[in-house]
Amino acid sequence: MPSDTATHALRPRPRIGVRALVAYLIAALTVAPLLWLLVTVFKPGDEVFRPGLPSRLTLDNITYVLTQIPLGRYVLNSAVVSVAVTVVALALHSMAAYALARLRFPGRQLIFSLIISTLLVSLPVILVPLFLVVKQLGLLDSYAGLILPAIFHAFGIFLLRQYYLNIPRELEEAADLDGCGYFRRWWTIVLPLSKPALASLSVLFFLANWNAFLWPLIATQDPNLRMVQVGISTLQGQYVSGWHYVLAATVVAAVPTVVAFLIGQRWLVDAIKTSGLK
Amino acid sequence: MTVVQRQSPGRTARPGDAPRSGPARGSLAGRRRREALAGYAFVAPDLLGLLVFVGLPMALALGVSLYEADGFGGYTFVGLDNFRLMASDDQLWQSLRVTGTYVVAFVPLCFVVSLGLALLVRDHFPGVSGVRAALFAPNVISLVVVGIVWQFLLIDKQGMLSNVLRPVGLGDVSFLGSPGLAMVTYILISVWFFMGYNMLILLGGLKDIPREYTEAAMIDGASSWQRFRHITWPMLRPTSFFVVVNSMVGAVTGLQAFDLVYVLTRGGPANSTSTVVFYIYQQAFGFNHYGYASALTTVVVAFLVVTTGIMFVATRGGRFHAE
């Protein structure tokens, strides 16, 4: 076994070699389309198809879509739905995961298996019957119809349960001796301890719901309930020759996801890496 | 009580699990009952939600497929007619071909690209975390935005890509306008979108391979290809398996099969990019053929279960066997 120093010497020293240059080039090419989008929305309308940099920078396109199109309303709808789904889902999943990881009750394994068996079920697979269920419940064209079906997903429960299995039992037992009820035990001890896992999931849930398109597309007809992805997709048909407006709207729709990514990058990466280890 | 004990395997049973008799704690049975009640109460909301919004639709899919629903509340029992209809539905077979082609091209291509990127950014170099973030960046943006942006970049003759490719004589290529090329474009955009996501998962797997193995091989004079072939590749197998299955499921039933198609091509030109999922959507919400759409759904699910099962058996669960 080589000593520490020997191990160290074997590792390639950080330097900008061919590998790094190739990596920079690929990274640049990957983000180029997105950067080009960003440049284009600040171009005057008549320069959209002109290659190269804009003759002047303008906020006209952004101002137009924010004032002449109910884009603000779409953004608001998406914000309400995304935040509601994220908060409620985290609370419910955390409670269920805590019970499944820590509390002993008959049928626990069965319930856990049932939940896990839905892990691979994606929206397109159950789209038609889900639509019929939500229609029967009278939830079409309502915020509830946008929010409720988006809450329940096995992945969050699964991830949190794995996390809770690793929380030392002693921390809970201290609370037990103080005569804490199970709800208080969850609220005052388990929930604060699960901040990293909750942070990962909140970024994931927010992004998934902000970016949701298919369900909002079929669950709502009312233009006042349009979520942002549906909103910008309808512009596609309306502004056939108005690419500068369509693109400005897509930038407005994309900004919150990029911000969420930049803030939550570390947690998001954790959640994605964990998903692959199981 | 015996049930309770059977439900708690070795993991939850602890040495200190003996009945604790405290003056304020009540009997062991009472404690157990309180714990069980709390357990049910905590699981109930999520379980109920999953039953109503996932379980019920899944059960319903099979039931509805035996009916023809007109979308106005009327249902007629038609038995297996919906399934018989499939045989003569040319557009269904076309969409199955599209999804099949997409899976066969996208899954391996995306895996190879993602693995290449993961190996590229595995070791430290200045700015490596920025490079990783850049490669992942497309994945945080919605498929709708992605579709719109690429449509703009690929506009015939005037688009950015046409301008870039004009010097090499490819300025007039219609990337979304001809059937064969539209499919290629759809696949390449999907790879661009997902490669960063798969790269992160593979990076997680690469990080779990003990450094000592590769270092020992280096001392023994193994080439970088030999190190990859005999250490990295076999040890990465479980992660690779996960990535491939995940991509496959996504390619058939994921949002990429709908959102991107809807925005980028609407299934065209000439149905050349109309995936099964997109076709089901059209049948249900374009023509109100809910029964037929449900029947199609059950077929897709069966197809997916069978292929995933075959893969699982063929790769022995993707586990690494020290043979």
Q: Is the pLDDT of residue A4 over 50?
A: no
Of residues B127, B131, B145, nearest to A250 (C-beta): B145
Of residues A100, A124, A128, nearest to B257 (C-beta): A124
Name the band, by pLDDT with cuts 50, 70 and 90, for residue B23: very low
If you average pLDDT over each of A55-64, A90-99, A167-176, B200-209, which comes out highest? A90-99
Q: Is the pLDDT of residue A6 over 90?
A: no
- Mean of the pLDDT values across residues B264-268? 90
Structural domain contains residue B30: no
Residue scoring higher pLDDT (A241 or B290): B290
pLDDT tens figures, B102-115: 999 999 999 999 99
Kind of pairing between the strands at B67-69 and B75-77? antiparallel
CA distance B222 to B217: 5
**Contact at CB, B42 and A186, closer than 8 angstroms:** yes
**Contact at CB, B138 and A218, closer than 8 angstroms:** no
Which residues lie across from B75 on neighbouring strands? B69
CA distance B252 to A124: 9
- A244, A51, B134, B111: CA torsion to nearest 10: 100
If you average pLDDT over each of B28-37, B152-161, B272-281, which comes out highest? B272-281
Q: Is the pLDDT of residue B297 over 50?
A: yes
Mutate to test the interface with B, among A105, A109, A140, A189 (most CBs of B within 10 A): A105
Q: What's the token pair of residue A101?
A: 């990881």
Q: How far is B16 from chain A (nearest CA, A)?
A: 11
The complex's ipTM?
A: 0.87
For residue A124, count other CB atoms closer than 10 A to its CB: 25
Mutate to test the interface with B, among A8, A88, A125 (most CBs of B within 10 A): A125
* Residue with the two structure tokens 């993991």: B11
User: Taking CB atoms and an 8 Å cutoff, what residues of chain A touch B197?
Assistant: 272
**Residue B94 belongs to what domain range?**
83-318
Name the band, by pLDDT with cuts 50, 70 and 90, for residue B60: confident
Pick the CATH number of A76-241+263-277 from 2.60.40.1180, 1.10.3720.10, 3.40.50.10680, 3.40.50.300: 1.10.3720.10
pLDDT number for residue A106: 94
pLDDT number for residue A177: 62
Structural domain contains residue B267: yes
Name the band, by pLDDT with cuts 50, 70 and 90, for residue B16: very low
Which residues lie across from B69 on neighbouring strands? B75
Q: How far is B152 from chain A (nearest CA, A)?
A: 8
Q: Are B268 and B258 in contact (CB under 8 A)?
A: no
* Residue with the two structure tokens 């199970």: A182
pLDDT tens figures, A85-138: 999 999 999 999 999 999 999 999 999 988 988 887 888 888 999 999 999 999
pLDDT number for residue A275: 65
Q: Are B61 and A126 in contact (CB under 8 A)?
A: yes
User: Taking CB atoms and an 8 Å cutoff, what residues of chain B touch A124?
Assistant: 253-255, 257-258, 277, 280-281
Residue scoring higher pLDDT (B17 or B312): B312
Q: Is the pLDDT of residue B263 over 90?
A: yes
- Mean of the pLDDT values across residues B145-154? 94
B79: left (phi over 0), alpha (psi -120 to 50) or beta: left
- Mean of the pLDDT values across residues A22-37? 94
The three-state secondary structure class of B122 is coil
Which residues lie across from B76 on neighbouring strands? B68
Structural domain contains residue B288: yes
Name the band, by pLDDT with cuts 50, 70 and 90, for residue B188: very high
pLDDT number for residue B2: 35
- Mean of the pLDDT values across residues B12-31? 55
If you average pLDDT over each of B59-68, B113-122, B234-243, which comes out highest? B113-122
Q: Is the pLDDT of residue B230 over 50?
A: yes
Of residues B24, B143, B151, nearest to A179 (C-beta): B24
- A34 at interface of B, judged by CB pairs closer than 8 A: yes
Name the band, by pLDDT with cuts 50, 70 and 90, for residue A148: very high
Name the band, by pLDDT with cuts 50, 70 and 90, for residue B71: low
Name the band, by pLDDT with cuts 50, 70 and 90, for residue B117: very high
Name the band, by pLDDT with cuts 50, 70 and 90, for residue A10: low
pLDDT number for residue A238: 77
User: Taking CB atoms and an 8 Å cutoff, what residues of chain A touch B308?
Assistant: 120
* Residue from A224, A88, A200 nearest A150 by CA: A88
pLDDT tens figures, A183-197: 888 888 889 988 988
**Contact at CB, A1 and B212, closer than 8 angstroms:** yes
User: Taking CB atoms and an 8 Å cutoff, what residues of chain B touch A26?
Assistant: 117, 120, 131, 135
- Mean of the pLDDT values across residues B224-232? 91
The CATH 1.10.3720.10 domain(s) of chain A lie at 76-241+263-277
Of residues B64, B143, B253, nearest to A213 (C-beta): B143
Q: What percent of chain B has pLDDT over 70?
A: 88
**Contact at CB, A26 and B120, closer than 8 angstroms:** yes
Query: Whole-number mean pLDDT of chain B?
Result: 85
pLDDT number for residue B164: 85
What DSSP string runs through A124-173? Answer: HHHHHHHHHHHHHTT-TTSHHHHHHHHH--HHHHHHHHHHHHTS-HHHHH
- A200 at interface of B, judged by CB pairs closer than 8 A: no
Residues within 8 A of B (CB atoms), A 52-91 only: none
- Mean of the pLDDT values across residues B100-127? 94
Q: Is the pLDDT of residue B58 over 60?
A: yes
**Contact at CB, B242 and A276, closer than 8 angstroms:** yes
CA distance B189 to A198: 31
Mutate to test the interface with A, among B11, B129, B144, B289 (most CBs of A within 10 A): B144
| Angle, helix A108-116 to helix A154-165, in steps of 10 degrees | 130
pLDDT number for residue B166: 87
Residues within 8 A of B (CB atoms), A 85-104 only: 92-93, 95-96, 98-100, 103-104
pLDDT number for residue B72: 67
Contacts of B294 (CB under 8 A, 6+ apart): A128, A129, B60, B61, B62, B64, B65, B82
Q: Is the pLDDT of residue B123 over 70?
A: yes
Name the band, by pLDDT with cuts 50, 70 and 90, for residue B62: confident
Q: Is the pLDDT of residue A278 over 60?
A: no
- Mean of the pLDDT values across residues A33-38? 92
Task: Compute φ and ψ for B68, nearest 5 degrees.
Answer: -110, 120
Q: What Rg, from alpha-carbon coordinates, does chain A have?
A: 24
User: Taking CB atoms and an 8 Å cutoff, what residues of chain A touch B61?
Assistant: 126, 128-129
**Contact at CB, B54 and A127, closer than 8 angstroms:** no
Structural domain contains residue B73: no
**Contact at CB, B58 and A126, closer than 8 angstroms:** yes
pLDDT number for residue B43: 96
pLDDT number for residue A276: 56
| Angle, helix A243-277 to helix A60-68, in steps of 10 degrees | 90
User: Taking CB atoms and an 8 Å cutoff, what residues of chain A touch B114?
Assistant: none
Query: Whole-number mean pLDDT of chain A?
Result: 87
If you average pLDDT over each of A114-123, B60-69, B192-201, which comes out highest? B192-201
Cα B178 to the center of its chain, rounded Å:
28
Contacts of B146 (CB under 8 A, 6+ apart): B138, B189, B193, B260, B263
Number of domains in chain B: 1
Name the band, by pLDDT with cuts 50, 70 and 90, for residue B321: very low
Q: How far is B251 from chain A (nearest CA, A)?
A: 11
CATH of the domain at B172: 1.10.3720.10
